Chains A and B, each alone.
Chain A
Amino acid sequence: MLRRAELRIVGVGALVLAAAVFGWRTVFPSDERQIRRQLTRVAEHVNEKPQGLSAIAQAADVASAFADDVVIDLGEGTPIRGRDMVMGIVARLQPRTSHYEVRIRDMDVRVDDAGSASVDLSATTSGDNGMDAREFQLAMVKRDGRWLIARVTPVRVLEK
């Protein structure tokens, strides 16, 4: 049987170990964790309701999550190509998107190698006109230590 003093040492040791693991994971997050954090941050930026010049800052924040040669092919119309185009579209649509709340529901991250990963992501938008849900496939690339969105394609749930 352990005595009270020994139990205390074991307890404190376990706490220190847990804190060390937590600290390590916070300071040096895994690739998967970085990607999740990055994409969650994009949704948070989209949900901001800026006005005036802050709207441009918001668009820049959103666009910074994309690679400079990103391709967003939603299957309708011309694909969006390049980070600058993303930024322009985000800024232009801001008055409309500010009425919506974007939530990432599911995220399945697969890190393929040190420089690329793929993500299956489903998101909902809710606003005055009810709710819409979509599923996307994202290709991510790691550049200068940061994970960036390189390609976005929608997943069709019901295929004709």
Chain B
Amino acid sequence: MAHGLGRLIFGENPRRTTVRIFVLAAVSAVTFGWVLIPVRAEGISMMPTYRSGSLNLVNRLAFLMKSPERGDIVAIAIAGPHAVYIKRIVGLPGERIAIAEGTVRVNGRPLEEPYVRNRSAWTLPEVQLGSDEYFLIGDNRGMREEEHDFGRAHRSRIVGKVLF
């Protein structure tokens, strides 16, 4: 009975199966511990792109070879890599960013944002981004400005790119 169960689990070649299990466990541990970090979105600031409670994966290697780009949705570290803000990059290093009547302006020009559904009349005086700074904001612009965390963050805060 026990022999039959063991054979059912480990198959014809138990040694090879054991090695496979260890390799799979090691690859999973490295992948989900270091490369693709699972994060859960809390709050409504990224709606409608991400709903509160949705589970997402952050690719930590996304910006290893290239810099973050405008429109990328990224995770910003708050409390280690597992407690993060999920925001969209609207401003790149060196740019001037302002918000007028809910429209983001980059170097004085309005930014086209097809992912934004509702807009409240947010206002932000122009800020100049530093050489390592990005401007990040959530997609939900219909909420009250004071309840929405957005602004400049240093490159070192960007943990990775949010997938899906």
B132-164 to A contact mask, C-beta < 8 Å, 1/0:
000010000000000001111100010000000
- CA gap between A131 and B86 in the complex, in Å: 14
* B interface footprint on A136-160 (CB within 8 Å = 1, 0 otherwise): 0000000000000000000011111
- CB neighbours (8 Å) of A19 from chain B are none
Q: A106-B79, A122-B83, A159-B152 are in contact. List 16 more A-B contacts (CB 8 A).
A: A105-B79, A105-B80, A105-B82, A106-B80, A123-B79, A124-B79, A124-B83, A131-B42, A134-B79, A156-B151, A157-B77, A157-B85, A158-B87, A159-B153, A160-B124, A160-B150
Please provide the 5 A-B residue pairs with the shortest distance between their CB atoms, ordered closest to farther: A122-B79, A158-B151, A133-B83, A105-B79, A133-B79
Can you list 20 A-B contacts with CB-CB less than 8 angstroms, sorted by A residue number?
Answer: A105-B82, A105-B83, A106-B80, A122-B79, A123-B79, A133-B78, A133-B79, A133-B83, A135-B79, A156-B151, A157-B76, A157-B85, A157-B149, A157-B157, A158-B136, A158-B149, A159-B151, A159-B152, A160-B127, A160-B151
Give every chain B residue within 8 A of A124 (Cβ-Cβ): 79, 83
Complex alpha-carbon distance, A133 and B149, angstroms:
12
Determine the residue in chain A with the shortest Cβ distance to B157. Answer: A157
A130 at the interface (CB under 8 A from B): yes
* B43 in the interface (beta carbon within 8 A): yes
Candidate in B76, B80, B124 with the most chain A CB atoms within 10 angstroms: B80
B152: nearest chain-A partner, CB-CB? A159
Most B C-beta atoms less than 10 A away, residue of A122, A156, A160 = A160
Q: A130-B42, A131-B42 are in contact. Are A122 and B151 (CB under 8 A)?
A: no
Of B43, B80, B150, the residue contacting A158 (CB under 8 A) is B150
Contact of A122 with B78 at beta-carbon distance under 8 Å, contacts A133-B83, A159-B153 already known: yes
What is the interface size of chain A, counting residues whose CB is below 8 A from a CB of the partner?
A: 15
B76 contacts across to A, CB distance below 8 A: 157-158
CB distance from A118 to the nearest CB of B (A): 18
Bound Cα distance A159, B87 (Å): 13
Q: What 0/1 readout, one digit per residue, does chain B (99-120) give for beta carbons within 8 Å of chain A?
A: 0000000000000000000000
CA distance A135 to B151 in the complex (A): 16
Question: Known: A122-B78, A157-B76, A160-B127. Is A131-B83 also a contact (CB below 8 A)?
Answer: yes
B78 interface neighbour in A135, A159, A160, Cβ under 8 Å = A135
| Closest-CB distance, B77 to chain A (whole angstroms) | 8
- Chain B residue with Cβ nearest A132: B42
Q: Digit string of A105-139 for contact with B (CB within 8 Å is 1, else 0)?
A: 11000000000000000111000001101110000
CB of A134 to closest CB in B, whole Å: 7
Write out the residue numbers on chain A whose beta carbons fall within 8 Å of the beta carbon of B150. 158, 160
Q: Report the bound CA distance from A122 to B82 in whole Å.
A: 11
A160 to B148, CA, bound (A): 12
